[in-house]
Structure 1
Amino acid sequence: MTKPVAIKRRIGRPPKEDSVETSNRIIDTAAQLFAAQGYAATSMEQVASACNAGKDTIYRRFPSKADLFGAVVDRLRAGVLENLENEINTIADSGDALERLRHLAKWFLSVNLRPEMVAFKRIAMSEAVVFGSAGQGQTDKDPIMDRLVGVVEDAQRDGLLCGDNSTVIANHLIHSIVFGPSNHAMLGGKQYDDPAIRDQYFDQAWKLFLHGAGQ
C-alpha cells in the first residue's frame, strides 16, 4: 500500500515576500476604499473583507486606521516622486532651464488633477486632524518640492529667473499654477478635465508667474 505523502506545514512567520505582497494588497484595497468613500466612512473591517485578509493580519501591519491611511498617502507620494524624477531625467537635455521649469510646472498641474490625487487631497482637507495624526513623525523635508527647487536654481544660475530665494519661487509657482484648478476639482468641478481649457489656463498662469500683473 502506498503511504500518503506527508504535507509539510509552514511554521512561524510567512516569508518576507509573502508579507510584502500582503501589505501591498491591503494598501491597494484601502486606497480604493478611501478614495471612493472618504476616510470616515471606511473601516478596517471593510478593508479586511475587501482584500480577504483577517483583521489581525491588518492590525499587525497597521495598528490603526490613521496608520493605514498614512501608508496609503506615503505610497502615493512615493509614486509621484518616482514619476517626477523620470520626468526630470527625460527633459534633462532638452531646452534651457526655464523651458524645463515650464514643462515641470505643467506636469505638476496635470498630476494634481489626477482623480486619485484629488480624492486624497479632499480627504486631507476634510479630515485635517486625522490626516495630521497619520503624518506624525514626518519631517518638513519634502523631496518632491526639493526637485522643483533644484530646477528653479538651475534657471536662476543661468540668469533666466531673478530672486534670491529659490524655495519661495518654487512655492509661488505651485500656488500660481496648481492651487486654483486643484481646489476647483476638490469641490467637484470638472472644468479642467478638458485638456484645451487646462492648457489655456496654464499658458495664462505661466505668463503671470514670469511677468506678474503689474504695468
Structure 2
Amino acid sequence: MKKQRGQTVTDKIIDTAEKLFYNQGYNLTGINQVIAEADIAKASLYKHFESKADLLLAYIQRFHQEWLERIEARINKEPDPKQKLLTIFDHMSERQLSREYQGCAFVKANNEAGQNDERVLAEIQNAKRDFKALIEKLVINSGHKKMLTDQELTEMIFLMTEGGIVAASIFKQGEDLQSAKKIIEKLI
C-alpha cells in the first residue's frame, strides 16, 4: 500500500484494514497483521480503535460514505434522467472489474461480522437503504414509461444490481450487470 504524505494514523489504519478485510476477509485478518502492514505501533491502533470490531465498523462507515459519493458523482455527470439510472449499472460493472470481481464489500462484511455485531449490521443496512433511496430518487425523476410503479421499478433496479454484483463475483465478469441494464432500459 502506498503511503501518502500527511496521511493520518487513523486513515492509515483504516486503509490497511480495508485492503485486508476486503481481500482476505475479516475473520482471517488478525489485528497484528493490520499493525504490521500499517507500519504502526500496537498502542497507536488501540489509541484509535478499542477492538477489531470497532476497526471494522470504522472501515464500513468510511466505505459507505466514499461509495455513496463515488456513485453520486458518476450519476451527476449524466444530464439525461434516464441515463442516470442506467449509469448505475455501468458504475457497478466498472467497480467490480477494478476490484477483480470480488463482490460487495458490505455483503462480505455482513457475512463475517453482521450477525455478531449489531453496529456493523446497522451500518450495512444503512448503506443499502441509502442506495435504494438514491435509486428511488432517480426513478421518480426519470420520467419512465410507468410499466411499473416507481416503487416496483426501484425494487427491480435495486435487486438487479445486487444480484448482478453477486453474479459478477461468481462468474468473474460484468455481463449480468450489463444484461440487467438492457432490461431496465426497456422499462424506462
In 2 relative to 1, CA 78–55 (structure 1 residues): closer, same or farther, beyond 3 Å? Answer: same
Q: Which residue of 2 aligns with 1:82?
A: 69
| Pairing partner for 1:183 from 166, 169, 182 | 166
Q: Which residue of 1 aligns with 2:115?
A: 129
How far is the alpha carbon of 1:33 from its aligned partner?
Answer: 1.7
Name the SS for the 1:56 alignment partner.
Answer: helix
Deviations 1:74-124 (A, max 9, x none): 222222111122122211x3x3x2233222333234335542762633343
How far is the alpha carbon of 1:24 from its aligned partner?
Answer: 0.1
Which residue identity does 2:183 align to in structure 1?
Answer: L
How far is the alpha carbon of 1:60 from its aligned partner?
Answer: 2.4
Q: Which residue of 1 aligns with 2:31?
A: 44
Q: Which residue of 1 aligns with 2:146?
A: 161
In 2 relative to 1, CA 133–161 (structure 1 residues): closer, same or farther, beyond 3 Å? Answer: same
Aligned mates of 1:205, 1:153 — CA distance in 2: 19
Task: Compute the TM-score of the two structures, normalised by the length of structure 2.
Answer: 0.75
Aligned mates of 1:175, 1:60 — CA distance in 2: 40
Name the SS for the 1:118 alignment partner.
Answer: coil
Task: Compute the TM-score of the two structures, normalised by the length of structure 1.
Answer: 0.67
What is the number of residues matched between the two proteins? 179
Deviations 1:6-32 (A, max 9, x none): xxxxxxxxxxxx8x7010000011112
Q: Which residue of 2 aligns with 1:110?
A: 94
Q: Which residue of 2 aligns with 1:12?
A: none
Q: Which residue of 2 aligns with 1:11?
A: none
Q: Flag the structure with more relative contact order, 1 or 2, with Cα contacts below 8 A and sequence separation at least 6.
A: 2
Equivalent residues in 2 for 1:200-215, closer than 5 Å: 201-202=176-177, 204-209=179-184
1:69 aligns with 2:69: no
| Pairing partner for 2:157 from 173, 191, 201 | 173
Segment drifting more, 203-212 vs 64-73: 203-212
Name the SS for the 2:87 alignment partner.
Answer: helix
Structure of higher CA gyration radius: 1
* C-alpha contact (below 8 Å) 2:135/2:157 kept by paired residues: no
In 2 relative to 1, CA 98–203 (structure 1 residues): closer, same or farther, beyond 3 Å? Answer: same
Structure 1 or 2: more helix by fraction: 2
In 2 relative to 1, CA 147–47 (structure 1 residues): closer, same or farther, beyond 3 Å? Answer: same
Q: Which residue of 2 aligns with 1:98?
A: 82
Which residue identity does 2:162 align to in structure 1?
Answer: F
